[in-house]
Amino acid sequence: MHGFAYRHGSLHCEDVNLQTLAEEHGTPLYVYSANTIRDHYRRLDQALGSIDHEVAYAVKANSNLSVLRLLAEEDAGFDIVSGGELFRVIKAGGNPAKCTFAGVGKTRAEIEYALKQGIYSFNVESEEELRYLNEVAGDLGVIAPAAVRVNPNVDAKTHKYISTGKSENKFGVDFDLITDVYARAAKELANVKLRGLQMHIGSQLTSIKPFIEAVEKVAPLAIHLKNIHGIEFWSIGGGIGIVYHDSLKSGDPQWWASKSEDERPLTIAEYGEALVPRLQNLGLKILLEPGRYIVGNAGVLLTRCLYEKHGTAKTFKVVDAGMNDLIRPALYEGHHEIEPVKQPGEARRKVDVVGPICESGDFFCQDRELADFQPGEVVALMSAGAYGFVMASNYNSRPLPAEILVDGSAARVIRQRQTLDDIIAGEV
Ligand code: LLP
């Protein structure tokens, strides 16, 4: 479900014509739907509504201040992974007391900053980090709230770069070792308060099974830690997958109704129905850390076709966005649907859509049959709201694109396009 659909022959975001936005603000251009973000947040919040819970939005997925503000207004918590993300949350009006701080490599400066801001929990990823947290908290004369991330050794069945819950991944403490880590910490670390337990098995999970497997495996541990150490929360992480294929059609509830469970990702209702009964009697506050689910299908990247190039083997559509603007296809073989903004006719062509960057990996699709579009036309790379702009870079000295937030019929620039001077700012 999302706010992108054709109306009067042109792709719209909510009530705003994307063609108009491309003309007014140029391309490449990220456009987000505020009501989709709100709707996704509320659905998830409601699915867990019968139990004590908090949805802590994973800021890394899309950290624009206006997106964070929108979620702060919904009273969301935030899962952060750096001092920079905490700074953003605070600037956007988010509450540090609702922030959890994840990541395997927190620095002293980041820990001190987060301690001073009074965050809810440091989600630590090793015993070494827990000891360091204790030391820094001791130096400041405060007690650091902490949870340890357990690595449950569950196969999330997702791309290997975004699978995190197996023993060979760098994340968390092995399931078999973690009880002793809590026991030693309780005995030896006077400046740490063991407040919770955390896990996260991977991203873009489209089946409920790995979630169930992980929750069932870890629940007895959570109960044990509550009984022995008095922990109060269990974060079961993020990872809920979204529709990338058929992205445009999935904006329509009918599409969901027409698909069998094997043909579409899990729904939020299914997620809630499967997990709530397994979580409700633990006596723990349940935290979720969704990123992609909240913002992924709430955004598109608009790009203009520059040239159509005919080679002996292929037809290339060269567009003005590159892998520096959206790196998911190059990095994870990520699939993004490509839809012409002007509603297309029946004609379809097998093409590669490529960017201007000097790398063969700079493509948005290869040998894909697409609705035909011509040089000069604008197309939308769908499902680009998560891990899109945040992973963009200045590679090839290309300015970062602008970002727009649409809310009903209003469209606001929430990040100016970078200028060439912005790119060299700070250099000598
Ligand atoms: N919690 C932790 C500890 C995480 O590491 C992540 C994502 C999340 C929550 C949020 O996961 P989500 O609900 O968004 O799946 N750049 C990749 C995804 C990397 C995910 C990293 N961690 C991509 O574009 O697919």
Same domain, 16 and 74: no
Q: Which pLDDT score is estimated for 401?
A: 98
DSSP string over 153-193 = -----S-GGGB--STTSSSSEETTTHHHHHHHHHHH-TTEE
Q: Which pLDDT score is estimated for 177?
A: 95
CA-nearest residue, atom 9 of ligand 1: 238
Domain range spanning residue 57?
A: 34-294
- Dist. CA 70 → ligand 1 center (Å): 20
Which of 375, 378, 369 shows the shortest CA–CA distance to 346?
369
Looking at ligand 1, which atom is closest to the CA of residue 292? 14
Residues with CB under 6 Å of ligand 1 are 58, 61, 79, 102, 162, 200, 203-204, 237-240, 289-293, 328, 332, 386-387
- Dist. CA 333 → ligand 1 center (Å): 16
Testing ligand 1's pocket by substitution, the residue of 71, 79, 166, 289 carrying the most ligand atoms inside 8 A of its CB is 289
- Per the CB < 8 A criterion, the answer to whether 12 and 6 are in contact is yes
Testing ligand 1's pocket by substitution, the residue of 60, 326, 383 carrying the most ligand atoms inside 8 A of its CB is 60
In the block, tokens 């089946």 appear at 207
Looking at ligand 1, which atom is closest to the CA of residue 289? 9
- Per the CB < 8 A criterion, the answer to whether 125 and 181 are in contact is no
DSSP string over 111-145 = HHHHHHHT-SEEEE-SHHHHHHHHHHHHHHT--EE
Q: Domain containing 312 — which CATH number?
A: 2.40.37.10
- Tell whether residue 291 is among the known ligand binding residues: yes
Q: Which pLDDT score is estimated for 167?
A: 72
Same domain, 92 and 160: yes
**Tens digits of residue pLDDT in 352-378:** 999 999 999 999 999 999 999 999 999
Q: Which pLDDT score is estimated for 54?
A: 98
- Per the CB < 8 A criterion, the answer to whether 357 and 343 are in contact is no
Give me 233's structure tokens.
């929360």
Looking at ligand 1, which atom is closest to the CA of residue 290? 13
* Residue 367 CB neighbours (<10 A): 10
Same domain, 196 and 269: yes
CA-nearest residue, atom 22 of ligand 1: 203
- Dist. CA 238 → ligand 1 center (Å): 7
Same domain, 329 and 245: no
Q: Which pLDDT score is estimated for 164?
A: 74
Same domain, 106 and 20: no
Same domain, 226 and 109: yes
Same domain, 12 and 48: no
Same domain, 164 and 258: yes
Q: Which pLDDT score is estimated for 169?
A: 79
* Residue 389 CB neighbours (<10 A): 24
Strand partners, 316: 309, 352
Regions of the chain where pLDDT drops below 70: none
Tell me which DSSP letter residue 295 carries: H
Which residues, 6 or more positions from 61, have their beta carbon under 8 angstroms from its beta carbon? 291, 292, 294, 295, 296, 385, 386, 387, 390
Domain boundary residue among 267, 294, 321? 294
- Strands ordered across the beta sheet of 10-13: 4-7, 10-13, 16-17
Domain boundary residue among 294, 318, 341? 294
Give me 251's structure tokens.
């904006």
Q: Domain containing 273 — which CATH number?
A: 3.20.20.10
CA-nearest residue, atom 7 of ligand 1: 203
- Tell whether residue 359 is among the known ligand binding residues: yes
**Tens digits of residue pLDDT in 94-127:** 999 999 999 999 999 999 999 999 999 999 999 9
- Per the CB < 8 A criterion, the answer to whether 241 and 204 are in contact is yes
Give me 79's structure tokens.
């899962």
Same domain, 180 and 254: yes
Same domain, 338 and 262: no
Give me 109's structure tokens.
């400066």
Testing ligand 1's pocket by substitution, the residue of 55, 124, 292, 335 carrying the most ligand atoms inside 8 A of its CB is 292
- What residues are annotated to the active site? 358
- Dist. CA 235 → ligand 1 center (Å): 14
CB-neighbour burial class of residue 146 (10 A; exposed 0-12, middle 13-18, buried 19+): buried
Domain count, the chain: 2
Domain boundary residue among 250, 278, 294? 294
Q: Which pLDDT score is estimated for 340?
A: 98
Strand partners, 121: 100
Same domain, 259 and 381: no
Same domain, 67 and 18: no
